[in-house]
A and B are shown apart, each in its own frame.
Chain A
């Protein structure tokens, strides 16, 4: 994108963009911490406090970036690509904040319930696998946003289905454990919530990918199918 005649406008837009990427980086980092809680029962003391602090920082980013967007609207009356970017950023920032909340839930729930041996296996492997897939998807979405790469964004929309399928499989597995042995119910329910949070992270990440399509193509694809989105992206 070429520069605005007003370099001040350029630097305001750049500050917003890099703010979103910094916020995204922080959310990624939080997610990594949460996955460690999922995979590893032994954690350094204070690790859970770091998750709490990180979540606070994410919230601050949200408020700050929203404020910057409001200022650009008030002072610059952005049009076309700038307007689409500002509208999109306010949505992306919202999704990132929600991902931050879900990630915190994953970490806290995992830190609490150690549960029975067979459930630990589900947590260490199945749930962690879906969590890692969601993390990879989030990274891709943030990269697609950074580069305004619509092709990459369209691929992410597909990946959400993989996450959803993973969630359904975990749910089936947990149900059978609960039926076999009622003593697993409490621990299994905790895991259901964890898995559900990860599934929601996939949804929010998909929103981010759809937002990239809106910036570049000017089309609202939030309720479009994956095929429709691919068709939209393929259009010159």
Chain B
């Protein structure tokens, strides 16, 4: 179990959700429980360029939310706020909140340790980036950082993570090989297994298939659909068809603003805003 908190707890959280929050209205029935929420999020890079402008957006539990928009719209910047990646460079500045439910933790609060945040919120990048270590050690890394040392505990967790990433059957007899010996698609699944090892509550995918061939892409997309049973997923993608295929909700961003957020079915059939319609039909320019 990735998230020990029962769904019922989250449902009750909804009732007590911050009344001041202005998350965009979603068409149709009542929305699922919230896993996280961005509230009035601004982000400034160290050169004081404002990359995000007052983003209010819900992240629903056990759903896949896709962030789409043209290059430079801030979707990757937004994604990286969720695991405090921007802290790695001095001078970057956040304002507003990203609240993680059910404990109502503001991920951006000064007293919240970014390392702790990253334990709860894993990330998978555009290019597969396994550590220059064995397959086993790639997955074990986060567990060791967490202080897990017992061999049998590690073995179990590594098998579970590799199975979760649909990689176990392909690598179970070669766990001692270098991660970099795997194919691109396998390396990406190894990175997913590495992220899964610490039982994250949210997984962030930053264009996870843009360096992969169509077959490897399909297997990652299939995996995303499988993973959402256990984790909440946020995915940035340039491939609109991919957003349409894998996501439950879609956010369209443009020049640092959230233009429209709705069910993926709505966004791709009858979005509310003309800007969104122009973008997803390829009329952007």
| Complex alpha-carbon distance, A5 and B280, angstroms | 11
Q: Give A12 Cβ to nearest chain B Cβ, in Å.
A: 12
| Complex alpha-carbon distance, A84 and B268, angstroms | 10
How many chain B residues sit at the interface, stated as a range, is 10 to 19
| Complex alpha-carbon distance, A77 and B244, angstroms | 11
- Which of A3, A81, A217 interacts with B277 by CB under 8 Å? A81
| Complex alpha-carbon distance, A80 and B277, angstroms | 6
Look across to chain A and name the residue whose beta carbon is closest to the beta carbon of B284: A5
Q: Judge whether A80 and B244 touch: CB under 8 Å.
A: no
Q: Give B261 Cβ to nearest chain A Cβ, in Å.
A: 16
Q: Judge whether B269 and A80 touch: CB under 8 Å.
A: yes
When distances are taken between beta carbons in the complex, the residues of chain B under 8 Å from A81 are 277, 281
Q: Judge whether A80 and B241 touch: CB under 8 Å.
A: no
Does B14 touch A at the CB level, under 8 Å? Answer: no
Look across to chain B and name the residue whose beta carbon is closest to the beta carbon of A83: B269
Q: Judge whether A3 and B268 touch: CB under 8 Å.
A: no
Contact residues of B: prevailing secondary structure: helix
Within 8 A of A (CB), among B96-134: none
| Complex alpha-carbon distance, A9 and B283, angstroms | 10
Does A218 touch B at the CB level, under 8 Å? Answer: yes
Most buried by B among A3, A80, A81, A219: A80
Q: Judge whether B281 and A82 touch: CB under 8 Å.
A: yes
Q: Judge whether B269 and A5 touch: CB under 8 Å.
A: no
Within 8 A of A (CB), among B59-91: none
Proximity bits, B245-285, A CB within 8 Å = 1, else 0: 00000000000000000000001111100001110111111
With A79-B240, A80-B277 as contacts: A4 and B270 at CB distance below 8 Å: no
Proximity bits, A1-42, B CB within 8 Å = 1, else 0: 111111001000000000000000000000000000000000
- Which of A1, A3, A4, A218 interacts with B269 by CB under 8 Å? A218
Does A78 touch B at the CB level, under 8 Å? Answer: yes
Q: Judge whether A3 and B281 touch: CB under 8 Å.
A: no
- Which of A2, A6, A77 interacts with B278 by CB under 8 Å? A2
| Complex alpha-carbon distance, A79 and B283, angstroms | 11
Q: Give B228 Cβ to nearest chain A Cβ, in Å.
A: 22
| Complex alpha-carbon distance, A2 and B275, angstroms | 11
Please, could you name 30 A-B residue pairs with CB atoms under 8 Å apart, sorted by A? A1-B283, A2-B278, A3-B283, A4-B281, A4-B283, A5-B283, A5-B285, A6-B282, A9-B282, A77-B241, A78-B281, A79-B269, A80-B267, A80-B268, A80-B269, A80-B270, A80-B271, A80-B276, A80-B277, A80-B280, A80-B281, A81-B277, A81-B281, A82-B281, A84-B269, A84-B270, A217-B270, A218-B269, A218-B270, A219-B270
Using CB atoms and an 8 Å cutoff, list the residues of chain B in contact with chain A: 240-241, 244, 267-271, 276-278, 280-285
